[in-house]
Amino acid sequence: MSFRLPKFPMLTLFHNPTSAVSTQALKLLRQASVDYEFNIDIVDSKTASAPTHQQVSNIVEYLGKGSIEQGCTEILAPDAPKASTVSEVQKILDANPGYMRRPLVVDWNKGKAIVAEPASKVNEMVKDVGETE
C-alpha cells in the first residue's frame, strides 16, 4: 500500500528579505497558504540568479494582461533601464537581477502575477489559487 500526499498549487514569491514590503508579503502568503492550501516557492534575491528566459516571458505576459509593454514596465524596478520587449527585459535582468521588482508573486497555473506593493495585494491574488476554472 502506498501513501501519496495531496498536490497543492504553488505560488512563487520573488522575494527581497531586506525589504519590509517583501517581508510583509511573505508573511501574508504564509498565513493564506493555510486557508487556501497552496505551497510557496521563495526565490530570494540575495541568493538567486536572474529568472530563466521562459519565466521572464511568462511574467511579462501575466503582468501585462495582454500588453507586453505594460508587463515590461511592471517587472522592472523604477531605477532600471527602460525596456519595451521581453528580450530587452531579459538582457537587463541577466546583467543585473536586482532590477526585478520585488515582491513579485506568480501563480504559474493560473497565469497570474502581481507586484505586491502594497503587500496587501497578496490577499486578492490568493483567493482563487486552489479553484479550478
- Identify the helix (H) or strand (E) that includes residue 84: none
Provide the pLDDT confidence category of residue 49 given band limits of 50, 70 and 90.
confident
pLDDT above 80 (res 16):
yes
Q: Determine the distance from the C-alpha atom of residue 60 to the mean position of all C-alpha atoms in its chain, rounded to a whole number.
A: 10
Report the C-alpha gap between 15 and 1 in whole angstroms: 40
pLDDT at residue 58, as a whole number: 96
Provide the pLDDT confidence category of residue 56 given band limits of 50, 70 and 90.
very high
Strand 39-44, strand 104-107: pairing: unpaired
Mapped onto helix, strand or coil, the DSSP state of residue 88 is: helix
Q: Say if pTM beats, i.e. exceeds, 0.75.
A: yes
pLDDT at residue 8, as a whole number: 78
**Secondary structure (DSSP) of 36-64:** HT-EEEEEETTT--PPPHHHHHHHHHHHH
